[in-house]
A = this chain, B = another copy of it.
Amino acid sequence: MTTIKQTESGYRVDENFITDWATRVAQAAGASQAVAQSLATYLVAGDLMGFRTHGLLRLRYNVQCLEDGRSRTAGQPRVLSQRRATQLWDADMLPGPYVMPLAIDAACEMAEQCGTGTVVVRRSQHVAALAVYLEQAVERGFLVQLMAATPAQSVVAPFGAKSAWFSPNPFAIGAPALNHPVLFDVSLSMTAAGKIRTAIAEERDLPYAALITPNGDYSVDARTFTATPPSVIASLGGEALGYKGTGLNLFSEIWTLALSDYGRADADANEGDANTSWIQVIDPSAFTDLDAFKQQVQAQVDGILATTPIDPRQPVRVPGSGAMAIREQQRIAGIDYSNAVWKQLQWCAEHYNVPLG
């Protein structure tokens, strides 16, 4: 394929080309080769899977952080404490996409020895999409569960409240199966902040009432999120079952912020969207034969696919399979960027003098 191709709504580019370009931008902003490579690879991986709010749209912000010192440009996270199957790290503002693969690797090593391996990482810069890190563990035949919270951000309301306490914490799992792996990544609130910002930019309502206005009304109006005073995001479960989502968010924040001993009182606003992450890897062969395990996961996938669709034209899907289909298609045809994202990339190209093609 041609490296860059204009489309009706933006540009279509080759994965390797754009990864290489983004790596050079990050290096021009001061990142080491290793940090730049990770940042580019995992942001592009987000775009590939269709997580467009957590892809190269974030590059401009990320490289500005590298340039002005909000992100560290090189170095290693610090191990604060450890036992045989656990470690606590302080990433001291290294980019999340650089730290997460290191943490997954450490968790895999512990899982081989102990059956499970857990790393909690505090103070990394934003980790982008959790989904992009899952396969590193899954390809080794491991189960993986990831969570992240943002201690300086409060935008999600507990059930029954119209003011916020939680961040819109993502939750992701990966599991090897006989065919495609299971890869699944969602926010534990009714929507993610990035999706609201996209709706505002595209001047449209949210597809469902995910926001609670200062009056206490559930609303689809994305613009209320940036009004003064702003609306807040509702917990998963909504008006009837929001206590379930609230409990899941509390789970997420205890397992990240409390275990890392770095909570909302510790994080200052300068840390913006720096994350605390929970990384847990499980070696299924500590429990049973790996092939038998994969067959059991495949039976889950096949069981879901065999249920009767409500709408015969919409076959039931395995959660996360949509992202994998988008990736497969974009790996062949190229990755689509909207004109709005492309403008951000052009800003980076000019600012760091790394021409786009």
Contact = CB atoms under 8 A, between A and B. Distances in A.
A257 B310 CA distance: 26
Contacts of A300: 250, 253-254, 257-258, 263
Given A259-B287, A287-B120, A173 B85 contact: no
B288 A88 contact: yes
Contact of A115 (B86, B251, B314): B86
A113 interface: yes
A254 to B, nearest CB: 5
A182 B250 contact: yes
A162 interface: yes
A91 to B, nearest CB: 15
A148 to B, nearest CB: 16
Interface in A77-98: 80-86, 88
Contacts of A257: 296, 300
A141 interface: no
Total identical chains: 2
Contacts of A254: 143, 173, 175, 182, 296-297, 300
A322 to B, nearest CB: 9
Interface stretch (A43-51, A233-241, A334-342, A344-352): A233-241
Interface stretch (A21-29, A58-66, A152-160): A152-160
A314 to B, nearest CB: 6
A319 B158 CA distance: 9
A87 to B, nearest CB: 8
Contacts of A317: 159-160, 243
A118 B175 CA distance: 18
Interface string A295-334: 0110110011011111100111111100000000000000
A246 interface: yes
Contact of A163 (B113, B212, B261, B308): B308
Interface of A: 80-86, 88, 113-116, 118, 120, 143, 145, 157-165, 171, 173, 175, 182, 184, 186, 188, 190, 207-208, 212, 216, 236-238, 240-241, 243-244, 246-248, 250-251, 253-255, 257-261, 263-265, 282-284, 286-289, 292-293, 296-297, 299-300, 303-304, 306-311, 314-320
Closest 4 pairs between A and B when the two form their complex, measured CB to CB? A86-B115, A83-B115, A247-B319, A161-B307
